[in-house]
Amino acid sequence: MKSSILMIYTGGTIGMKQDERTMALVPVDISQIETEVPELKKFGYKIDTCSFDPVIDSSDITPDFWVKLCRIIKENYAKYDGFVVLHGTDTMSYTASALSFMLEDLAKPVVLTGSQLPVGMLRTDGKENIISSIEIAAAKDAEGHPMVPEVCIYFESQLYRGNRTTKYNAENFRAFRSANYPVLADVGIHIKYNRHLIHYPERWDIPLKIRDKIDTNVAILKIFPGITPQAIDAVLSTKGCRAVVLESFGSGNAPTGKAFLSTMKKWVDKGLIIVNVTQCHAGKVDMNAYATGMGLKGAGVISGYDGTTEATLCKLFMLLGRYSSPEKVKKEMQKCLRGEISGV
Ligand code: ASP
């Protein structure tokens, strides 16, 4: 039976072309995507499309948008073999992270992709990104199961686990990086799937659930030499704030001075969940490695291991939406829920 794919267009550079008269960038009509990417016809797959209305620049993405996206996937889950989401690159890692936590028991591919140059431009990277994403979303193994039943990002010949990615380049075609987890597939002459790195469900017939209660009462605090207790207080006293992603130095280190640590402890004692991730682009938090990390641990800060800021934030959004008890949220934060952290 021929594979069927639903391509969901949300906005971003990928879906743009130049208006011939004004030369301004305008969104393409996604139902006519085969005009821009005629290669799609050669697949012989059934490729249906749907579009957000209006389409948005991904800087305007909100959690309501993630909920809508999850609902579209859930409503169409039985009808399609896989989903390709065309999305702006700026917040793609946030959306991929959020979807990974919101879609529970996912057993089909959800591949996000975008481009640095509009699909309607001559040198676009968008065409290849769309074509390979479709091929990956449709790929099955010998038993007929999807090759990559995960939320992923495909970009510039690499397939990443979505919640491990960060956008790190605003200029190059290779815009994303997954520093702490190897690529799920490499695309060259052949698509080489690294099957030992891909997560496969124990059972394929469990119905998809969506966790669509999101609580965004989270702040991010990046520490720097000279940070004052007042600056920390200003962020952590944000009305309604329930959790903080603390971007620390190196392997999870922070100043050992009494003023800093007692400020942290004060907020932990007030019930705030503080999760320690590193501001380095690769590597992990180990709060036992140095006295500077032990100080944070002693203050009640918990480890975010090797998670990205994007994934840690979105995991907190989902868990805070689901649980009112900070202790329960902390406990779940220490578990690897969707392959977002290692070594726990
Ligand atoms: N600003 C655009 C967006 O994220 C950039 C892009 O698509 O690459 O929607």
Set out the domains of the chain in order of their start, with CATH numbers.
4-210 (3.40.50.1170), 218-333 (3.40.50.40)
Q: Is residue 10 a contact partner of residue 56, using CB atoms and an 8 Å limit?
A: yes
Residue pLDDT, tens place only, 47-89: 999 999 999 999 999 999 999 999 999 999 999 999 999 999 9
Q: Is ligand 1 within 6 A of the CB of residue 88?
A: yes
Q: Is ligand 1 within 6 A of the CB of residue 125?
A: no
pLDDT at 90 over 80: yes
Rounded-to-integer distance, Cα 302 and Cα 281, Å: 19
Q: Please return the burial class of 169, using the count of CB atoms within 10 Å of its CB with bins 0-12, 13-18 and 19+.
A: middle
Q: How far is the CA of 160 from the centre of ligand 1 (A)?
A: 19
Q: How many CB atoms lie within 10 A of CB 343?
A: 10
Find the helix or strand (DSSP H, E) in which 231 lies.
Answer: helix 229-236
Q: How far is the CA of 256 from the centre of ligand 1 (A)?
A: 40
pTM higher than 0.85 for the full model? Answer: yes
When pLDDT is cut at 50, 70 and 90, the band that residue 195 belongs to is: very high
Q: How far is the CA of 187 from the centre of ligand 1 (A)?
A: 23
Q: What is the mean pLDDT of residues 3-22?
A: 91
pLDDT at 32 over 90: no
Find all residues with CB under 8 Å of 157, minimum gap 6, and list them. 128, 132, 186, 187, 188
pLDDT score at 21: 87
Residue pLDDT, tens place only, 239-288: 999 999 999 999 999 998 889 999 999 999 999 999 999 999 999 999 88
Q: Is ligand 1 within 6 A of the CB of residue 89?
A: yes
Handedness of CA 288, 292, 296, 298 (dihedral sign): positive
From the CA of 13, give the closest atom in ligand 1.
Answer: 7
Q: What is the mean pLDDT of residues 7-33?
A: 88
Nearest CA to ligand 1 atom 7: 88
When pLDDT is cut at 50, 70 and 90, the band that residue 294 belongs to is: confident
Q: How far is the CA of 148 from the centre of ligand 1 (A)?
A: 25
- Beta-strand pair 103-104/209-210: antiparallel
Q: Is ligand 1 within 6 A of the CB of residue 114?
A: yes
Q: How far is the CA of 87 from the centre of ligand 1 (A)?
A: 7
Q: Is ligand 1 within 6 A of the CB of residue 172?
A: no
Instruction: Please say if 13 is a catalytic residue.
Output: yes
Main-chain dihedrals φ then ψ at residue 164, nearest 5 degrees: -105, 0
- Alpha helices (H) in 237-333, listed in sequence order: 258-269, 291-298, 309-322, 326-333
Find the helix or strand (DSSP H, E) in which 205 lies.
Answer: none
Find all residues with CB under 8 Å of 278, minimum gap 6, and list them. 247, 248, 249, 250, 251, 252, 284, 285, 306
pLDDT at 342 over 80: yes
For ligand 1, pick from 57, 113, 125 the residue to mutate: most ligand atoms within 8 Å of CB.
57
Which residue reads 């006295």 in tokens? 291
From the CA of 58, give the closest atom in ligand 1.
Answer: 9
Nearest CA to ligand 1 atom 8: 89
Q: Is ligand 1 within 6 A of the CB of residue 12?
A: yes
CA angle, residues 89, 91, 96, in degrees to nearest 5: 95
pLDDT score at 291: 81
Of 10, 13, 165, 263, the active-site residue reads: 13
User: 3-class DSSP state for residue 307?
Assistant: coil
Rounded-to-integer distance, Cα 37 and Cα 107, Å: 28
Distance in Å from the first CA to the final CA of the chain: 41
